[in-house]
Amino acid sequence: MFSTKASLTKMRGAGYSGVRWLVWSFVFTGLMFAASSVVAGEDDDDITDYTVEDGKVDQATFDGYEAYTRVCQSCHGPDGLGSSFAPSLMDISQSRTLGEFAATVANGQEIQPGQVMPSFADDEYVMNNVNNIYRYLTARAEGDLGRGRPDVIGEEQGDDKNKEEEESDNGSEE
């Protein structure tokens, strides 16, 4: 997972602009990787063509939500909104194409001192879901999808335990 990190770390000594330049060259290498293996024939429009109906989403967008929540939330905060530790990814689809996004996820990034975005190149689950995460974040950015865990269109809402019983459970003790 940290295959590109040794060289990234060394760059900390270089001047700020030097760091940025070097990181970009990584991004471009990764971009080629991304273009060949991740996006594979689909263009960005298909990938970001999410569906949201009454707060419910298509399966790919849900998978993106799930992958984001499992892997990225611990640094980037809930629902793509950012945290004190890592930047918001809400507007990432405006600043980066899918290819650039996939490259950052694959290669990691260390522009600001002490801020490390790890490389996920060796994480099959993440790399398989890069498109879905981008799709989910795009739906968030466009304002079509709110916060929290969306349901999947056409699926029963049966997976959420306790939702309805709220009132009777809380507040009864003590």
Partner 1 sequence: MLREFSYAIAAIGLAVSAQAHANENLLELQENPEYWSTQLGNYQGNRFSKLDQINRDNVDELSAQWQFSTGVLRGHEGGPLYVGDGKLYIHTPFPNKVFALDLEDNGRVVWSYEPDQDSRVIPVMCCDTVNRGLAYADGRLFIGQADNTLVALDSEDGEVLWEAENGDHTKGESNTMSPLVVGDKVIMGISGGEFGVRGHLTAYNVETGEREWRAYSNGPDEDVKLDPEETLMMGEPVGEEDLGETTWPDEEWERGGGAPWGWVTYDPELDLIYYGTGNPGTWNPDQRTVDGEPADNKWAITVFARDPDTGEAKWVYQKVPFDEWDYDGVNENQLIDVEIDGEQRKGLAIIDRTGFGFLLDRENGELLVAEKFAEETNWADSYDMETGRPNVNEEYSTWRQGVDVNTTDICPTAMGAKNMQPSAYSPETGLIYAGINRICMDYEPYEVDYTAGQPYVGATLNMKPAPLQDENGMEGRMGSFIAWDPVKGEKVWEVDERFAVWSGALATAGDLAFYGTLEGHLKAVDIETGEELWSFKTPSGIIGNVNTFQHEGKQYIAVLSGVGGWAGIGLAAGLEDPEEGLGAVGAFSALEDYTELGGVLTVFTLPDA
169 in contact with partner 1 (CB under 8 A): yes
CB of 46 to partner 1, least distance (A): 24
Phi, psi of 37 (to 5 degrees): -110, -30
DSSP string, 44-97: HHHHT---EETTEE-HHHHHHHHHIIIIIHHHH-GGG---SSS---TTHHHHS-
Residue from 44, 91, 100, 151 that binds partner 1 (CB under 8 A)?
A: 151
Residue from 89, 90, 98, 139 that binds ligand HEC (CB under 6 A)?
A: 89
The two three-digit tokens of residue 66, written as one number: 């799930």
CB atoms closer than 10 angstroms to residue 84: 5
75 in contact with ligand HEC (CB under 6 A): yes
CB of 82 to partner 1, least distance (A): 6
11 in contact with ligand HEC (CB under 6 A): no
Distance CA 39, CA 20 (A): 25
Q: What is the binding site for partner 1 (CB under 8 A)?
A: 1-2, 5, 9, 12, 55, 66, 69-71, 73-75, 77-79, 81-85, 88, 110, 114-116, 118, 123, 143, 145-151, 159-163, 165-166, 169-171, 173-174
